Structure 1
């Protein structure tokens, strides 16, 4: 039985579906679920901050990633009680693999979004994670 499950999210419907499946797996196994969003430090973000009541302010990439992970984790609290969320630094696949190593994860859950080129069967992030993960990988069919 897994004790630590990671799921990568980016706010898309695809990643929300993967997170939902990961939450069900965590609930069934009693594992802690870590909802993670990769931070691209080179991409400036402009996002509407709800606390600003409609005003637009610049969020750093880290703030934006943290907000996405926290929002999705919040929607899953009714599914599994042990859930954490955080941003992680780097490209999505690399960051998930590194975080899995750091936490000693038992399972990484990813969706199969971004289907193009040679990675079109699984998606580029799913393919990269599957090739380099230090643990089992569950690829959710999200399309």
Structure 2
């Protein structure tokens, strides 16, 4: 049974469905759930960007807000939910976080990707190929 479950979220319906499944698995097994959003440093914005009277959120702040919102929505399903921010491309970032926290299971959703021969989304494919642990791909399409 997994003790640490990691799920990556990006605000999409697919990721939310994967997070729901991850929370249910965590509740059933007593595992800790880590909800992580990746932010690619290439999309960095200065911290003090202002539009009118409103300061724009940095990509990191937006990513963390997404992870927090998803984690809060799962609080009633499983007791122990942690929120995290990872840096880099989503697939690579999830694999690195899994190594860092010694995750036993990574849960990802599969998005419908255009083009013949594409069964899984690129994040699910990257994670499946490089994960240091088991991967659960939630059918979300």
The TM-score, its normalising length taken from structure 2, stands at: 0.89
- The 5-angstrom pairing of residues 1-143 of structure 1 reads 1-44=1-44, 56-117=54-115, 120-143=118-141
SS in 2 for 1:73: helix
What TM-score do the two structures reach when normalised by structure 1?
0.88
Cα contact 2:112–2:119 (8 A) shared by 1: no
- Number of the residue aligned with 1:48: none
Question: Which segments of 5 or more consecutive residues in structure 1 lack a partner in the other structure?
Answer: 46-54
> After the TM superposition, which segments of 4 or more aligned residues of structure 1 sit over 2 Å from their partners?
116-119
How many pairs are equivalent?
134
Which sits farther off after the overlay, 7-16 or 112-121? 112-121
Contact 1:109–1:139 (CA<8 Å) still a contact in 2? yes
How far apart in 1 are the matches of 2:117 and 2:77? 31
- Give the CA RMSD over aligned residues: 1.5
C-alpha change, 1:118 and 1:92, in structure 2 (3 Å) is farther
Structure 1 residue 122: Cα displacement: 1.2
Q: 5+ residue gaps in structure 2?
A: 46-52
Contact 1:40 1:90 in 2 (8 A): yes
Are the aligned partners of 1:116 and 1:123 in contact in 2 as well (CA < 8 Å)?
no
